[in-house]
Structure 1
Amino acid sequence: MRRPSKPHYVAAAAALSLLLAACSGTTATSTPGGGAYTLSASTPLPKGDIASFTWGLYAEPPGLDYIYAFDYPQNMILSNVCESLTRWTPQLTMEPGLATQMENPDPQTFVYTIRPGVKFHGGGEMTADDVVYSIRRHLDPALGSYWNKAVGNVDSVTKTGAMQVTVKLKRPDALFPQWMATSAGTVVSAKAAKAMGKKFGTADGGLDCTGPFKLGTWTKGQSIDVDRFDGYWGKRAKAGKVTFRFIPDVAARTTAMVTGETDGGYLITPDSYARLESSGKGKLYFGKSLTTVNLGVTNLKGAVGDVRVRKALMLALDRQGFLKTGLGGLGSVSAAPASRDAWQGVPKATVDAAYNGLAPATRDLAQAKQLVQQAGATGKKVVVATSPIGPDVSLLATAVQAAGTEIGLNVELKTIAPDAYTALFSDPKAREAVDLFPNTYYLSVTDPLANYSLFRTGDFENYTGFSDPAYDKLVDQALAEYDPAKRAVLTAQLQKLETDQALWIPVAEWPTTMFLNNRITGAPTSISYMYYPWAADVGAAG
């Protein structure tokens, strides 16, 4: 089963208020008493190569086996070492990767022409057999791939030519070719992976992939080096080496950027903005993201089982206040779980219509109180999960408690230890003790259908247990529609149905954040760093 993305928790900074607009183009904005920040689709092009640079990560990856790569640290490294059949661009569109061509002769068949002459880091050339082996690893139940949802519709993967692989699906699936740009479509050396066995992707084993960098020294608890691969088939990396340093403490990570111990990092927390911006050592960037903050509903049998109570909480929640205190003002209040940036390649009029038809994300306590009364829920208990894992979680939980109290509900906060909080995303038993929980969620494909398909009956990430045959039928209809514009119209209908049911209470959209010091440039500003070889673009700033 594909597990949900581990939430990325950010620290609060009530003093900061970055009122950011769209995450493309260039727009200047500022914090009270602070300097200007730039929203940019990219960073300046490098002026030359660089021997090496160092990047800060908030955690050490538990492993680098692509079938288990479903979180920021793993993918931020792997996107530069391993490659997929197709890949994201910095603009979050798709382009050819290890496959030069994809054909879709019928709704259930995808034929990939494999790029010739691609070398593995360990020697030898990539073949169609390596592609077949790599995808089939996801299908092996004994391995328990985290990407099962992406390939769960695959019926067969076969070599149908010297450099051709054909994938047959059980039913039409418009998201499948998009999943092939993620770890679900990664290709590794079959020979090396078999030889390494359980050590594949570990510090004691290694990797054998095709990317612009190859895995170098892995010093457990400290860092991972990747070295430029001179036999790379594509554009040569500008840096000879990248060192990923693991710095869990936010303050220490910020200090490392200010002092030059690390040259940059993604996922900058709001309480670091002012210090980094005022240091004069580099620049903060903000870019496109597929990330939203939501309140997940886990229990449709208690008080929140009545949709009027869920809608009342939506009306009462001070989302603007949370945006300011929990996310440092970075982002925008949202009216739906899917980010606007996820609607790639869709006419603007269609996207606007999809959001214009939703309930406004504004407070209305009078109406909220009335809904609670109509539901007969006045005084009823609602349990909200909270955790010291990050101020954004605790602040959102506290905001929900305040909102619920104002409209007559008895909201109880249940504190969950940080190491147990992520079980809420994977273990139904862990969710039994709560009615609602804060979640920060990113999509791995640029299609909002990936979000709304979660609420289909029986889906692993359907935390509510919601079931509606009409909704399921519409999901299947949308998945079977390969025309992006037509699929978007169907997805907009799903979005309206989901928000009408308030299965997730949307709170905010959150752009990507990045810091580069003055010696490097070239990194993309978008969340493309998850599946695009971003480090190969980084070079000397001057």
Structure 2
Amino acid sequence: MRAVRRVAGTLLAASAVLITSACSGTANPDKDADAGTSYKLTKQTPAAAGDIDSFTWSIYGEPSSLDYVYAYDYPPNQILANVCESLLRWNPDLTTSPNLASSFTNPTPTTWVYKIRPGVRFHDGTVLTAKDVVASLRRHMDPAVGSAWENTFRNVKSIDMTGPLEVTVKLTKPDAVFNQEMATSSGTIESAATLAKAGKDYGSPKGGVNCTGPFSFGSWASGQSLTLKKFDGYWNTELKPKAGQVKFVFLSDATTRVNAFQSGEVDGGWMVPADAYDQLGSSTAGKLYYGVNSTVAEEIVSNLKGPLGDTEVRKALLMAIDRKGIVKAGAGGVGEVADSLVTDNMWDQAPPADRKAIIEDVPHYPYDPAKAKEIAEKAGVKGERIVIATSPLDSQTTIVAQAVEQAAKAIGLDPKIETLSPEKYSTLFTDAAARKGVDLFLTFWYTSITDPLDVYGSLETGMFTNYGGWSNKEFDQAVEDAAGTYDPAARAGASAKAQKIALRELPWLPLYTQPTSVFLGNRITGVQPSVAHLYYPWAAEIGAKK
């Protein structure tokens, strides 16, 4: 989702992209009763009563690699979160705290100094040093590597060891997002010796990984499963694993996953299919939980040379989409219509006095097909063809595509749904040639930090993730102003300005948000339901149920 970065935001990377987590910062589940059933967010499931030998976890797709520089989607991230660690940690409550960096300072606007935690060991027993940090971070800047997180480092001038346990990063200009990104895969630390030795095998079933997390890489049976083992030498006593082993099984079919939950074949899984919420919500095999999210389902306008190149037509289309109906039919009534491209909780760092106004002071596009048709008719686009790309990932994806098609017809356009395989759908996020002839495609865009710039920065002119090539100089300046200041009030103001411009011009059409979902079978408990499971060692907290 970010510059090359998030092919995860990709339709859940083509495999579940549409189940994709992208944002469910649903902070007000009862906000709109007409949107569907009410639901409750859970911060913490009951604490584990004790240790457990092992548990099995379902995952919708097999990672293509466990190399952290390519970990830009749900499958690799939810595994690596328990194996590898970053300099900082994104917590389940979406705050950020020190991790492998015991502390950090910002002595000048263009300097970040990280003190590396002493006594931390990699899974092979070697000790973490500043040399490992430098080698790990520099990989993102190597064009030959092709990191999915390269945009994080666009303002980095140098990364150097300035002491046995100290690393200094010099920037070309102030960048308030850089340090926050050290809690994501951008800040993941691997052994320098392992990187050199493994070479191209690093992160593969053959090469594995050698990090510092609570679990170590065990085995990887391609096409079937991946197993992690408890790391007895883990440094963080508060997150010592309660399970001796975690086995991830790759179950791409949504029905198969649900059946595996019901039968007890697997003990749990993230991103429960929305059409199974009712079924699993009343299951005797376990319990379904909802947690905080940072994802928004949105239609990306990928062709600004066609009828959707007219801002008024984009507004008309959004006004004609029955978004409440999508939440009810596609998301099982669990979620709410989105008025923004980011969830409300992304503004938590803004001064409290400004937060409410920022969230509410945005353009609104209420459902009004008749008015939408009038707007489109004035634009003179009647009968013009648009292509809506989709993929048969789950019922939710199909319902969204059909709702958008219906809205396009309602305003006089001639829509065509083009169904792509998950693999081809994924290339829409990575290859401009694949987007040729496509006017709209769906993403569930999640943020990896608690900052609206995680999304709005992706829409700057020339950014890899600016899939439609939208450009607005005023917007670009607002984003740069926000990223270039460390003052919370000034940053919030500039970010809010960027948000208003984006929502006025709608390069992406916000649809809805829904919470993170997780199912826990009767054997296990302890997890904190949150989108932070993509970077936080959630599996370490799971243990035996009373």
Structure-to-structure mapping, 1:302-341, within 5 angstroms: 302-341=306-345
Q: How many angstroms does 1:196 deviate by?
A: 1.1
The aligned residue for residue 348 of structure 2 is 344
Which residue of 2 is the match for residue 268 of structure 1?
Answer: 272
Which amino acid letter does the alignment assign opposite residue 220 of structure 2? W
- Alpha-carbon separation, structure 2, partners of 1:311 and 1:180: 37
Decide which of 230, 233, 236 is 1:231's aligned counterpart: 233
User: What's the TM-score, normalizing by structure 2?
Assistant: 0.93
Partner of 2:44: 42
Aligned residue for 2:442, secondary structure, equals strand
Q: 1:504: how far off?
A: 0.6
Counterpart pick for 1:129 among 128, 131, 140 = 131
Establish whether residue 425 from structure 1 lines up as the match of residue 432 from structure 2: no
| Residue of 503, 516, 521 corresponding to 1:517 | 521
From 291, 298, 302, the equivalent of 1:294 is 298
The residue aligned with 1:374 is: 378
Whether the aligned pair in 1 keeps the contact of 2:217 and 2:227 (CA below 8 Å) is yes
Q: 1:266 to 1:504 in 2, by over 3 A?
A: same
Structure 1 residue 56 corresponds to structure 2 residue 58? yes
Q: Is the 8 A contact 1:285 1:514 kept in 2?
A: yes
Residue pair 2:341, 2:455 contacting (<8 A) in 1 also = yes
**Contact 1:23–1:287 at 8 Å: present in 2 too?**
no
Q: Counterpart of 1:17?
A: none
| 1:392 and 2:399 aligned | no
Identify which of 247, 258, 261 aligns with 1:254.
258
Distance 1:468 1:479 in 2: 17
Deviation at 1:394, TM superposition (A): 2.8
300 and 112 in structure 1: CA distance in 2 versus 1, 3 angstrom threshold: same
**CA–CA distance in structure 2, aligned partners of residues 480 and 12 of structure 1:** 33
SS of the residue aligned with 1:283?
strand
Aligned 8 A contact 2:281 2:288 in 1: yes
Tell me how far apart the structure 2 counterparts of residues 11 and 443 of structure 1 sit (CA, whole Å). Answer: 14
2:387 is matched with which residue? 383
**Aligned match of 2:508 in 501, 504, 508?**
504
- Which region of structure 1 is more displaced relative to structure 2, 338-347 or 325-334? 338-347
Give the CA deviation at 1:185.
0.4
State the Cα distance separating 1:21 from its structure 2 match: 9.8
Query: Is the contact between residue 12 and residue 391 of structure 1 (CA under 8 Å) also seen in structure 2?
Result: no
Q: Which moved more, 1:386-395 or 1:396-405?
A: 386-395
Distance 1:530 1:149, change over 3 A: same
1:87 aligned residue (86, 89, 92): 89
> In the aligned structure 2, how far is the partner of 1:26 from the partner of 1:304?
34
- C-alpha distance in structure 1 between counterparts of 2:398 and 2:274, whole Å: 15
For 1:12 and 1:162, the matched residues in 2 are separated by: 45
| CA positional deviation for 1:60 | 1.4
- 1:463 corresponds to: 467
Q: Does 1:539 align with 2:543?
A: yes
| Secondary structure at 1:368 match in 2 | helix
In the TM superposition, what is the alpha-carbon distance from 1:370 to its structure 2 partner?
2.1
Q: Show the counterpart of 1:244.
A: 248
Q: 1:287 & 1:320 partners in 2: Cα distance?
A: 21
Give the corresponding residue for 2:360: 356
Residue 100 of structure 2 is matched in structure 1 by: 98
Q: Which runs of 4+ in 1 moved over 3 A?
A: 9-13, 20-27, 29-32
| 1:153 to 2:172 alignment | no
| Conserved 8 A contact 1:24-1:41 | no
Q: Is the 8 A contact 2:319 2:365 kept in 1?
A: yes
- Maintained 8 Å contact 2:363/2:500: no
Among 69, 74, 98, the alignment partner of 1:67 is: 69
Go from structure 1 to structure 2 and tell me whether the alpha carbon gap of 1:367 and 1:292 turns closer, same or farther (over 3 Å shift): same
Alpha carbons of structure 1 residues 125 and 26: separation in structure 2 relative to 1, 3 Å: farther
Q: CA deviation at 1:126?
A: 0.4
- Seen in structure 2, the aligned counterparts of structure 1 residues 273 and 212 have a Cα distance that, compared at 3 Å, is same
Instruction: Considering Cα pairs closer than 8 Å and 6+ residues apart, tell me whether 1 or 2 has the greater RCO.
Output: 2
Q: Measured at CA, do residues 532 and 307 of structure 1 come closer, stay the same or move farther in structure 2, by a change above 3 Å? A: same
- Partner-residue secondary structure (3-state), 1:445: coil
Given that 1:333 and 1:361 are in contact with CA atoms closer than 8 Å, whether structure 2 keeps it comes out as: no
CA drift of 1:122 comes to 0.6
SS of 1:324 mapped into structure 2: helix
Task: Tell me the alpha carbon deviations over residues 375-400 of structure 1, each in whole angstroms, 9 at most, x when there is no partner.
Answer: 12222222222332333333222212
* CA contact 2:26–2:514 (8 Å) conserved in 1: no
Give me the whole-angstrom Cα distance separating, in 2, the residues matched to 1:406 and 1:497.
Answer: 26
Aligned residues of 1:334 and 1:361 also touching (Cα < 8 A): no
Corresponding residue number in structure 2 for 1:478 = 482
**Aligned counterparts of 1:198 and 1:134: Cα–Cα separation in 2:** 15
CA distance in 1, matches of 2:260, 2:418: 35
Mapped contact 2:302–2:469 kept (Cα < 8 A): yes
Counting matched residue pairs gives 533
Aligned to 1:190: 192
Show the counterpart of 2:146. 144
Q: Specify the alignment match of 1:217 in structure 2.
A: 219
Worse-superposed segment, 285-294 or 413-422:
413-422
2:390 and 2:264 map into 1 onto residues whose CA distance is: 35
Deviation at 1:132, TM superposition (A): 0.2
Q: CA deviation at 1:130?
A: 0.4
Task: Tell me how far 1:103 sits from its aligned partner.
Answer: 0.5
Please tell me the residue identity of whatever aligns with 2:73: D
- Alignment deviations for residues 139-184 of structure 1 (CA, whole Å, 9 cap, x no partner): 1111111111112221110001121000111221111011100111
Alpha carbons of structure 1 residues 472 and 268: separation in structure 2 relative to 1, 3 Å = same
SS at match of 2:120: coil
Q: Could you list the per-position Cα deviations for residues 194-235 of structure 1 after superposition, in whole angstroms to 9, with x for gaps in the alignment? A: 111111111111211111111112222221111111111102
Q: What is the CA distance between 1:279 and its match in structure 2? A: 2.5
1:426-466 superposed Cα distances (whole Å, 9 cap, x missing partner):
21122120111122211111111111112211000111211
Inter-CA distance 56–307: structure 2 relative to 1 (3 Å threshold): same
SS for the counterpart of 1:80 is coil
Partner of 2:233: helix, strand, or coil?
Answer: coil
Asked if structure 2 preserves the Cα contact closer than 8 Å seen for 1:519 and 1:540, the reply is yes
User: Contact 1:2 / 1:460 at 8 angstroms: preserved in 2?
Assistant: yes
Note the C-alpha offset of 1:31.
12
CA deviation string 1:63-115 (max 9, x = no partner): 11111111111111111111000011111110111001110111211000000
Q: CA deviation at 1:348?
A: 4.8
Cα distance between partner residues in 1 of 2:437 and 2:197: 44
SS of the residue 1:120 aligns to: coil
AA partner of residue 111 (structure 2):
T
Q: Which residue of 2 aligns with 1:16?
A: none
> What is the letter of the counterpart of residue 50 of structure 1?
I
Structure 1 residue aligned with 2:173: 171
| Separation in 2, partners of 1:386, 1:244 | 27
Superposition TM-score, scaled by structure 1 size: 0.94
Partner deviation per Cα, 1:388-422 (whole Å, 9 max, x = no partner)? 23333332222122112222222222333332111
Q: 1:261 corresponds to which letter in structure 2?
A: E
Q: What is the letter of the counterpart of residue 55 of structure 1?
A: W
The amino acid of 2:63's aligned partner reads P
Match of 1:205 in 2: 207
Would the aligned equivalents of 2:274 and 2:396 in 1 still touch at CA under 8 Å?
A: no
Q: 1:466 to 1:96 in 2, by over 3 A?
A: same
